[in-house]
Amino acid sequence: MGPMNTPDNIKPVRKAVFPVAGLGTRFLPATKVMPKEMLTLVDRPLIQHAVEEAKAAGIEEFIFVISKGKEILKDHFIKHEALTKTLEARGKTQQLEAVKSCEIPADKLHLAYQDEPLGLGHAIWCAREFVGDEPFAIMLPDDVVLGDAGCLTQMIETYNKAGGNLVAVMDVPKEDTNKYGILDVHSDDGKLADIKGLVEKPEPENAPSTLSIIGRYILQPEIFEKLSGHEKGAGGEIQLTDAMAKLIGEQPFNGLRFDGTRYDCGHHLGFIEANIAYSMHSPKIGSQVKEIIEKIANGTEEKIHVAAG
Ligand code: G1P
């Protein structure tokens, strides 16, 4: 699949924006000096999971929206000459591959600065010059999806047939609608939903459905016009959902129910859950992790108790 198969009238998605300016206060003290997106999910930082998913979907250019002090997020993807040379000299091929797997050419990785935490809509607006006049993807690294095909790959396959704008969606419990952008739907074939409205974090009694947006989007560049008003919405923030709602009626807007299991790494327990799930499903260490977890859960792990004197 990928951009090569895009019909003539549908512009391919080549760029992805990663809004990663947040302070990660929920993860303090871990995030006192280290960006939340550098926390490890099994064997690599969260940001790398998101970048690899984007790469696998055919994305060629990467735009990180950061705040001052988070430049390490870029460093992680730039060639590390000294380390590479040392590993080469020592014949450490596996480690060399691991290091190379996260390299992006410097001219394909851009930093846009969001100087104030004004909301997700504002973060995306900060990336406008790097995106330019073409459709683009947005990846929220807090949302990870475990499955056979990457979530963004599934979205780009659908986009290459349907065009327009597309968000990844899943059903959430009614009581959780106030944590997500929620869809109001025209028609729904169980896989693709034609969207007629979007509401950011409605209380359950006001929610038009329980179909919620998770952190993968494909949007047309006209979104930047809708964001340029800097209008504040839910929580006093400039919301991406509000700007997207303004595009409905002007352009096609669909929600895609993706295949896979989504984990929310935006809070502690969700992050721990993701680590357990990803490590249990790892072909390399999965069976050992299962044994460890069973032992701990059953209380049969080895306990050392040395009595005093
Ligand atoms: C953001 C979006 C929301 C979306 C969610 C997905 O909210 O504003 O519409 O459903 O991401 O994770 P946040 O989680 O940043 O509060």
Residues of the chain with pLDDT under 50: 1-3
Domain containing residue 257: CATH number: 3.90.550.10
CA angle (167, 104, 136) in 5-degree steps: 25
- 199 C-alpha to center of ligand 1: Å? 11
Residue 142 CA: nearest ligand 1 atom is 12
**45 assigned to some structural domain:** yes
Predicted pLDDT of residue 135: 98
**175 assigned to some structural domain:** yes
**297 assigned to some structural domain:** no
Residue range(s) defining the domain that contains residue 91: 3-266
Q: Which residues line ligand 1 (CB under 6 A)?
A: 120, 140, 143, 180-181, 200, 212-215, 239-241, 266
Predicted pLDDT of residue 76: 97
Decide the pairing of beta strands 143-146 and 261-264.
Answer: antiparallel
**185 assigned to some structural domain:** yes
CA-nearest residue, atom 9 of ligand 1: 181
* Number of domains the chain is built from: 1
- 234 C-alpha to center of ligand 1: Å? 11
Predicted pLDDT of residue 40: 97
**99 assigned to some structural domain:** yes
Cα separations in angstroms, 304 against 117, 295, 300, 307, 309? 48, 15, 12, 10, 15
**283 assigned to some structural domain:** no
Residue 143 CA: nearest ligand 1 atom is 12
**280 assigned to some structural domain:** no
- 239 C-alpha to center of ligand 1: Å? 9
CA-nearest residue, atom 1 of ligand 1: 180
Residue 200 CA: nearest ligand 1 atom is 9
pTM for this structure?
A: 0.94
Report residue 110 as tokens: 């851009």
**273 assigned to some structural domain:** no
Q: Residues 249-280: pLDDT tens digits?
A: 999 999 999 999 999 999 999 999 999 999 99
DSSP string, 28-79: TTTTSSS-GGGSEETTEEHHHHHHHHHHHTT--EEEEEE-TT-THHHHTTS-
